[in-house]
Amino acid sequence: MERHCSFSLKELLAPAISYARDGFVVSARVAGAFQRKDSLLKQCENTINTYQINGRWPQAGEILRLPDLAYSLELIANQGVQVMYTGELGERIISALERHGGLLSMDDLEQHQSYIEATVLGHYRGYQIAVQQPPTMGTLLLQQLALMEASRVPVTGWDSADWIHLMIEAKKASFSDLSAYLSDPGHCEIKPEQLLDSAYIKQRASDLSLSQAASYVPGEIGALLSHTTYLTIADKEGNVVSWIQSVFNEFGSCWIAPGTGFVMNNRLSGFSNDLEHINCVAAAKRTAHTLLAPMVLKDNKPVLALGTPGDYGQTQTNLQVISYILDHGFDVQRAIDAPRWRSLEGMEVAIEGRFSASLIKELSQRGHAMQVMEDWTDLMGGLKR
């Protein structure tokens, strides 16, 4: 913010403070989330006290007020973000955790560091694609696009079996690398440029099964070769922000420290308990995660910024939207509105019923275990213009 923002933190937080203090209308989606997480939310007395209205979870259309959250945001606005790590908010969190047997201490919060890192750049159809460094899954999106281009499969119709099959197989191949190579760069020898190296991509592209659904194992690396919120914004000076944040599951851990008004995330659940796994839990380590806020550039100038909730479906939703625009000439709104699919475990593929029955039948004949979902399902991510 100090490097790029023309507004103060107090100015930026003012609308959020107003909504928290004065209230906001509960949407049908948020009301549904309260019902889905009922049992977990009820395990924390302060979560109940924070969210419930007259002894029940808020319903769609009701006004929800969060005075503790307003107070916390005012502290941050007046004292800066360090109040979370060395000040009153941090002390409230640690005090509550200690009463419940938590392991975090003020020393842990005080040692927190935020990183400003260079983006990872890939290329597709003459465009540059910029994503975040690991431990995000941005490198996997670049790898999927690179595999599609390296496969030399002709760009056919956006709803053709050949094209969708190629994208599914590229996703599965890249995800086999996820479990083997993606982790906190400070604890991992494999770097993004190795997964995107032209020789490695050529090798992986040759592994793709272009006629039948297949399973994949991680490639051989040489010495060098989702409760998620996304927004993008541009200003009159040409600055563009692609931003994503998440507490992971709906309501994260479902646990709120008294007097804070916000849930703690449960992102640590992304770690593996297998101490031999590249993403095993360790001190001062960031877990591999799905958050992805890509930006597409042409001649080093931004032309598209996008993102979506959807945990492990994020790369797939972004992949399809980018392909709709760059491969098939869709405008942004048409790309957002177009039907989508999502590759699940193994050969399973969820697909919207808005695709044709003949396409779904042909993909089934190629070995994909197709599951036809309701139209506009949240499983496929969510983008708005």
Q: Which residues are catalytic?
A: 228
Cα separation, 113 vs 92, whole angstroms: 20
Write the DSSP assignment of 302-357 as a string of letters: EEEE-----GGGHHHHHHHHHHHHHTT---HHHHHHS--EEE-STTEEEEETTS-H
- Check residue 87 and report its DSSP letter: S
Write the DSSP assignment of 249-263 as a string of letters: STTTTS-B-TTT-SB
Q: What are phi and psi of 64, to 5 degrees?
A: -110, 125
Cα separation, 122 vs 137, whole angstroms: 13
- Quickly tell me which residue has 């023309």 as its tokens: 6
Cα separation, 3 vs 56, whole angstroms: 44
- Check residue 273 and report its DSSP letter: S
Cα separation, 139 vs 89, whole angstroms: 35
Helices 138-150 and 198-207, axial angle in degrees (round to 10)? 70
- 313 CA to centre of own chain: 8
> Residue 207: how many CB atoms within 10 A of its CB?
14
Distances (CA, A) of 41 to 30, 46, 94, 254, 270: 13, 9, 20, 5, 20
Cα separation, 171 vs 176, whole angstroms: 9
Q: Decide if 164 contacts 359 (C-beta within 8 A).
A: yes
Q: Decide if 221 contacts 203 (C-beta within 8 A).
A: no
